[in-house]
Structure 1
Amino acid sequence: MYFCSEFLTMRNLLPTIVVSLALSFLVQCKSGLVTMSNSCYNMISTGQSQNKSGNYSGALETFNTVLQKCDAYDSKEKGFAGKAEALNGLKQFNDALAAANEGLKISNSSIDNLFQRATAEIGLGMESAAKSDLNTIISLTQKNKNTAERATIYAKIAALNAKEQAYDEALGNINQAMSLDNSNLDFSVLQGDIYVASGKFKEGLESYDNAISRGRNDAEVWKAKATALIKMNQKKYGTDNAGSLAKKMNSAEKQSLCATIRTAVEHGMKDMNIELMQVAVCN
């Protein structure tokens, strides 16, 4: 099987009719699927759906099958990206990094593989490498119309900024993400996390409430809100001791915290530290 670049090399050696066929094939190369079979296309679609739903083990099995059975270069590129995403989901970051690098050997401008490599690098604490890859992705995507994809990249960079305690940069990038895709409520939660990490508890709580009021009503966001309330009161009263905090908090503060913890538990939150705080403050 010849790749597109090989057709360009052979062009001058082929009869006219064969050149015509070769150029036709080259056009197909640029359109996307090239020689990927229907069965490979369907397997890749299945794997992508599994990753999206959080079934990372199933996705890993699917994409391993793709890489074993599908030979077209675009199948391999998407196969490695899907495998890397599944491994990142399983927090097997070294293996995810290796898979993404294999995909980038096929196409060094593969946004999917760059994205998964950056995700693995963040997981491994390779902040500089991750930031470089994410900036490369932004550069590659500036010219297209996929604003949701660009917004996700800005959010990734914001999370990385926050990890480095560069909170002003983090807020700038998450605000950019939200301006590009205001429908993604994960961005509101991340904005809240950044505010709380920087000590701006009131703004963080407003971001969480915004996400909740717009439909992000799950255990994760309620846990984040409860954690923010606890940290806010710990800072206000200068103690991390639950018993001491319970004695110092006023009734309105206790009511707000206890109602938030109860709602978080109702939504499935399990956190021993928050539950211990609930026992001390709410009983």
Structure 2
Amino acid sequence: MQMSAKAGILLVIILILVPAVAAEDSLEWYTRGQNAATVGNYADAVTYYNNALSLDPSYASAFAGKAVALNALGQYSEALDAANQALAIRTSTDAQDAMAYALFKLGRYDEAVAAYVNFTATVTNHADAYCNLASSYVQTGNPDAALKAYAQCANLDPHNADTWNQIGLVYMSQDKYTEALDAFNHATQETTKSAEIWNNKGLALAALGRYQDALDCFNAALTISPVYADAEKNKESVMGKSQVYQVTGSPTPTKAPWVLGGGTSPATVPTTAAAQTAVNVTESLPAGTIAVTATETQVATKTTYTPLSSIGALTAIVVAGIVFAGAKRRKN
């Protein structure tokens, strides 16, 4: 009888515990995954999403959440697989965004463009998506489309200095230095603590021939980052260009390439040996090399006259008098 009582108590305990275990269904695991991802616990989030998928292999939202978490962990190939599995079940903007981002980070820029175009056709208020679309356009050699996408990004997030910096760099690649300077001005209005932005602004000013302003920008970059090698080289390149020089003759200078990307190109050599030589400006970009040009105008030589001294003037008057008197005697 005592054994029967113990068995009954054990059965009650089992009956209480079993529903509690069963209650952890796919929805609850998915919710745990969402909560973990919200606070940045992406590894735990992946575990919870996998638990949900083990209970419901067709749980599209769990696949999408897993894709987002894997992207955050830098596991882009796995994220792309999860996003594709989600989209194979049903359309999901979260999965579309995750797929586009994974393609972008994997360097598959043509596919990223298509994915982001598809995503932004539905979600029109996602600034990062437009910026990533613009960056993908840059990588595929379509700067005009990139500028349009960056404009949409800046419209949604006008205080993002990096967006304005990227806009400026695209304009620099098109030799549109005034537009580039305007973009860099926006960037420095949003932050004064980026050495890269000050350096890029200096390059735009140098390309416009505003060397003293460019020098100020390079100095600002070096104040922030004293070991910024590109800014130091650029500063050395424009040193003295704001001064007025007198040269012999009227040389016709050629265009000197201003190379962005760390390379150094040959300096301009004007047609006369005494003429001043143009100097190059270099800077580093995270992706690719962009060449732009600037022209340096030579200053014509001024002719200088030296006035006669007082002794020279007196001598000239005496000689003129003697000549005049001699001429008068011969006439008489």
What is the TM-score of this pair, normalised by structure 1?
A: 0.59
Runs of 5+ consecutive residues of structure 1 not aligned to the other structure? 1-33, 51-57, 142-146, 238-248
Does the C-alpha gap of structure 1 residues 46 and 280 become closer, same or farther in structure 2, counting only changes over 3 Å? Answer: farther
More helix by share: 1
* Alignment partner, residue 82 of structure 1: 68
| 2:121 corresponds to 1:135 | no
How far did residue 112 of structure 1 move? Answer: 1.9
* Alignment partner, residue 4 of structure 1: none
How far did residue 226 of structure 1 move? Answer: 1.0
Q: Which amino acid aligns with 1:148?
A: N
Query: Conserved in 1, the CA contact under 8 Å of 2:184 and 2:200?
Result: no
Identity %: 20
| 127, 137, 148: which one aligns with 1:161 | 137
Does the C-alpha gap of structure 1 residues 111 and 185 become closer, same or farther in structure 2, counting only changes over 3 Å? Answer: farther
How far did residue 275 of structure 1 move? Answer: 5.4
Aligned residues: 211
Does the C-alpha gap of structure 1 residues 279 and 184 become closer, same or farther in structure 2, counting only changes over 3 Å? Answer: closer
How far did residue 223 of structure 1 move? Answer: 1.1
The 5 A counterparts of 1:79-158 are 79-87=65-73, 90=74, 92-107=75-90, 109-141=91-123, 147-149=124-126, 151-158=127-134
Instruction: For 2:86 and 2:201, locate their aligned partners in 1 and report how far apart those are by CA, in whole Å.
Output: 40
Instruction: For 2:211 and 2:158, locate their aligned partners in 1 and report how far apart those are by CA, in whole Å.
Output: 36
Instruction: For 1:46 and 1:205, locate their aligned partners in 2 and report how far apart those are by CA, in whole Å.
Output: 43
| 44, 49, 57: which one aligns with 2:34 | 44
Does the C-alpha gap of structure 1 residues 258 and 124 become closer, same or farther in structure 2, counting only changes over 3 Å? Answer: same
The 5 A counterparts of 1:5-16 are none
Query: Conserved in 2, the CA contact under 8 Å of 1:193 and 1:224?
Result: no
How far did residue 207 of structure 1 move? Answer: 1.9
Does the C-alpha gap of structure 1 residues 35 and 250 become closer, same or farther in structure 2, counting only changes over 3 Å? Answer: closer
Shifted more, 95-104 versus 132-141: the winner is 95-104
Query: Conserved in 1, the CA contact under 8 Å of 2:168 and 2:184?
Result: yes
The 5 A counterparts of 1:1-283 are 36-37=27-28, 40-50=30-40, 58-59=41-42, 61-71=43-53, 73=59, 75-87=61-73, 90=74, 92-107=75-90, 109-141=91-123, 147-149=124-126, 151-182=127-158, 184-214=160-190, 216-219=191-194, 222-230=195-203, 233=206, 250-263=211-224, 265=225, 271-274=228-231
How far did residue 42 of structure 1 move? Answer: 4.3
Does the C-alpha gap of structure 1 residues 48 and 172 become closer, same or farther in structure 2, counting only changes over 3 Å? Answer: same
RMSD: 3.5
Runs of 5+ consecutive residues of structure 2 not aligned to the other structure? 1-24, 240-332
Give the number of the structure whose alpha-carbon radius of gyration is greater.
Answer: 2
In structure 1, the residue corresponding to 2:122 is in which secondary structure? helix
How far did residue 218 of structure 1 move? Answer: 4.5
* Alignment partner, residue 54 of structure 1: none
* Alignment partner, residue 144 of structure 1: none
CA deviations over 1:89-111 (Å, ceiling 9, x no partner): x3x4433322322332343x222
Query: Conserved in 1, the CA contact under 8 Å of 2:103 and 2:112?
Result: yes
Query: Conserved in 1, the CA contact under 8 Å of 2:68 and 2:79?
Result: no
Query: Conserved in 2, the CA contact under 8 Å of 1:93 and 1:120?
Result: yes
In structure 2, the residue corresponding to 1:207 is in which secondary structure? helix
